[in-house]
Structure 1
Amino acid sequence: MALHFSSACFSALTLSKVPTVRAVASDQSSTAVKTAGEEKLKLGGSELKVTRLGIGAWSWGDTSYWNNFDWDDRKLKAAKSAFDASIDSGITFFDTAEVYGSKMSLGAISSETLLGRFIEERKVKNPEVEVAVATKYAALPWRLGRESVVSALKDSLYRLGLSSVDLYQLHWPGIWGNEGYIDGLADAVEQGLVKAVGVSNYSEKRLRSAYDQLKKRGIPLASNQVNYSLIYRIPEENGVKSACEELGITLIAYSPLAQGALTGKYTPNNTPSGPRGRIYTPEFLTKLQPLINRIREIGQGYGKTPTQVVLNWLIAQDNVVPIPGARNAEQATEFAGAVGWSLTNEEVEELRSIASEIKPVIGFPVEKL
């Protein structure tokens, strides 16, 4: 998910391809329509397989960007219901980070702590449930050396209540010490603390360097998690997506719904709350409406919502796993409806063409490093 501490810190840092056969999505009883859990993708060259769509837990416990700067029992229960609804719908891949909801990002409660609690409670009711957990290491300037990566991972495992995680990622490239961080990822694999390792917010140059360094240790770089959506296609333009395809690295797409802007929920007269309102302004949302209208029209032909169409557009790209953030059960259930069917190649390209007329409005400086 996004590189994020707090509003203040943020400004300082400022398988196989999905088949293209058109399915009638409204016929949910048809065997041609798969559930979210039936189709899995292997992350890069690792042996880890995850559902074609995951859930991002950035908002869980956060009070500096999401939740209108407040966290209470109602939002806690909603997050728990999002987790349960995801599992019920077959989505078992969850992405969190040590900075989400933590004190270092001025949050209320660690997202890792909440995810660990939700998993534990679910296993009481359903012991055989398997959840794939991904979390991230914060490459803070004062953290030096490979030992810091393993130490931070052990702290994350404590908060999660787990003995190992499925995917451990470097949240962003460090100002210095990146070779040590990569060695730390390899150490974590060799110590049995993690099944696969990845990076996040890595440019093409840094991605290739990390890949080569891990390869020398005999460990594949499984993934690169970057900002990628229909209206933020920078990974297609800066070489990151093509490098992932060339090297066999899975691209995990955070903010796949452009933080809600692509759901059709917002209009020039109804902008997002909080910091998002300064990004997705009435002027931008006005320019976005023709794309939203076409997304809605295409969705009607499948019996799908704009949200499900936009997520399916990403799933239709080779080797991409979107991880939308779910804050309640309704959102999680809707996300699951993006899996098990496919836009046609013509529809994929049509939406890309319309979206190309819209200039991206958000990005992170680490993409240019």
Structure 2
Amino acid sequence: MAAMSVSSACFSVFSYKKKVNRKIRAVASQNALETEHDKVKLGGSDLKVTKLGIGAWSWGDTSYWNNFEWDDRKMKAAKAAFDVSVDRGITFFDTAEVYGSRLALGAISSETLLGRFINERKEKDPDTEVAIATKFAALPWRFGRQSVLNALKDSLSRLGVSTVELYQLHWPGVWGNEGYLDGLGDAVEQGLVKAVGVSNYSEKRLREAYEKLKKRGIPLASNQVNYSLIYRLPEQNGVKATCDELGITLIAYSPIAQGALTGKYTPENPPTGPRARIYTPEFLTKLQPLLNRIKDVGEKYGKTPTQVVLNWLIAQENVVPIPGAKNAEQAEEFAGALGWILSKDEVDELRSLASEISPVIGFPVENL
């Protein structure tokens, strides 16, 4: 009788677990379905990514971010940022071989950390799907198509994967780009990547890259450039118009202007480190009227200034912003930029207000 009772109890628990597991799978399937609707194709490629991605530039870096130090606490914060992003349906992560690498005087490679975070996540949830974007550094001593393939294979090793979803040229080559573009095409044909893109490419170089890859039947999926409400050079130099014309997705890095558009910095409390040279108290003083209006717009939607400025980019269409998340709180906030949209009048009003502010300094690679 006791054996029967135990058996019945075990059966009841087993049945309960089966019901719970079915429910979890059903919820997961529904979330996956909802996430799928929130994805966009990158250019003319078959690759679909979430409308907002996460930049991993700061992960492991000690040359620009993290106050020149990297420790276990920052490691755990970055891991939490990754997990919260995936929990909220953001599964597109952008890194690069130079982020946090020894070349960049960093503590640990961002690629290594991203690969570790993905692996740990999949151990708990094997169904986790993440789209990885990384980049080839067009260093002056690298020549030809094979240099791209060699660097890619090193990146794959650090990431612990056999393929990545998007491989990009980080900046134009000093001595030319023909061989690099050939290397991108080879990577696609060898099945090492699903799509290819470029970064920091001018309108002229963008067209050249598009045409060269097109001859091999390979679409140029993206161009990753500095683009935010207060840094609209892509609108002014023809890059965004060219992306729209050719069907190339614009991936926007520094979409919250490295924190300047969040409202956390004021003339009395400017950022520290290298950013202090760009976002000075004088600039932040001029920025206040725009920040006040962003805050007002956000209150209408129940959104933070950060969520408003990210949504401003998403509302442009053909733009995927990739803000950098250093911790869980930031990742959670970024997710709130999805699922709603600013009106055209609001987009235009914010652009008009921003145009009254002198633009911030960009990166020299844009002029190569």
Please give the TM-score of this superposition, normalised by the length of structure 1.
0.90
Higher RCO, 1 vs 2 (CA within 8 Å, ≥6 residues apart)? 1
Q: CA deviation at 1:364?
A: 2.0
Please tell me whether residue 74 in structure 1 is matched to residue 73 in structure 2: yes
Q: Deviation at 1:152?
A: 0.2
- State how far apart, in whole Å, the 2-side matches of 1:245 and 1:61 are: 34
One-letter identity of the residue aligned with 1:189? V
Name 1:50's counterpart in structure 2.
49
Query: 2:293 maps to which residue?
Result: 294
Q: Is the 8 A contact 1:36 1:337 kept in 2?
A: no
Q: CA RMSD in A?
A: 1.2
User: Which residue of the partner structure matches residue 9 of structure 2?
Assistant: none
Q: How many angstroms does 1:38 deviate by?
A: 4.1
Give the 3 Å change call, closer, same or farther, for CA 35–276 of structure 1 in structure 2: farther
Question: Residues 32-111 of structure 1 correspond to what in structure 2 (within 5 A)?
Answer: 38-111=37-110
Q: Give the aligned partner of residue 269 of structure 2.
A: 270
Question: Within 1, Cα distance between the matches of 2:143 and 2:293?
Answer: 49
- Matches of 1:125 and 1:344, distance apart in 2: 40
CA-CA distance at 1:290 after TM superposition: 0.2
1:259 aligns to what SS in structure 2? Answer: helix
Shift in Å, 1:361: 1.6
Separation in 1 of the partners of 2:315 and 2:35? Answer: 14
Unaligned runs of 5+ in 2: 1-32
**Aligned equivalents of 2:176 and 2:351: distance in 1?**
38
Q: Distance in 2 between matches of 1:132 and 1:102?
A: 21
Question: Are 2:356 and 1:357 equivalent residues in the alignment?
Answer: yes
Per-residue deviation, residues 99-126 of structure 1 (Å, max 9, x unmatched):
0000000000000000000000000111
Structure in which a larger fraction of residues adopt helix? 2
Report how far residue 177 of structure 1 moved. 3.1
Q: SS of the residue aligned with 1:324?
A: coil
Please tell me the residue identity of whatever aligns with 1:208: R
Q: How does 1:1-369 map to 2 (within 5 A)?
A: 38-369=37-368
Whether the 8 Å CA contact 1:201–1:224 is kept in 2: the answer is: yes
Counterpart residue identity of residue 321, structure 2: P
* Distance in 2 (alpha carbons) for counterparts of 1:203 and 1:290: 31
- The AA in structure 2 aligned to 1:130 is E
- Aligned residue for 2:266, secondary structure, equals coil
Residues in 1 aligned to 2:338 and 2:272: alpha-carbon distance in whole angstroms: 29
TM-fit CA distance, 1:36: 6.3
Quote the offset at 1:318 in angstroms.
1.7
Alpha-carbon contact 1:37-1:90 (below 8 Å) kept: no
1:297-330 Cα deviation digits (max 9, x unpaired): 0000000000000000000002000000000000
Q: CA deviation at 1:366?
A: 2.6
Residues 269-298 of structure 1 deviation map (CA, whole Å, 9 limit, x = unaligned): 011121111110000000000000000000
Q: 1:285 to 1:363 in 2, by over 3 A?
A: same
Give yes or no for contact 1:35–1:340 (8 Å, CA) kept in 2: no
Uncovered stretches (5+) of structure 1, i.e. residues with no partner: 1-33
Give, in whole Å, the separation in 1 of the partners of 2:142 and 2:86: 35
C-alpha distance in 1, partners of 2:103/2:55? 19
> What letter is aligned with 1:367?
E
Helix, strand or coil for the counterpart of 2:273?
coil
Secondary structure of the structure 2 residue equivalent to 1:127: coil
How far off is 1:238 after superposition? 0.2
Deviation (angstroms), 1:367: 2.0
Aligned-pair CA distance for 1:365: 2.5
Which letter maps to 1:340?
G
Question: How many correspondences in the alignment?
Answer: 337
CA distance in 1 between counterparts of 2:317 and 2:120 reads 35
Structure 1 residues 46 and 245, CA gap change in structure 2 (3 angstroms): same
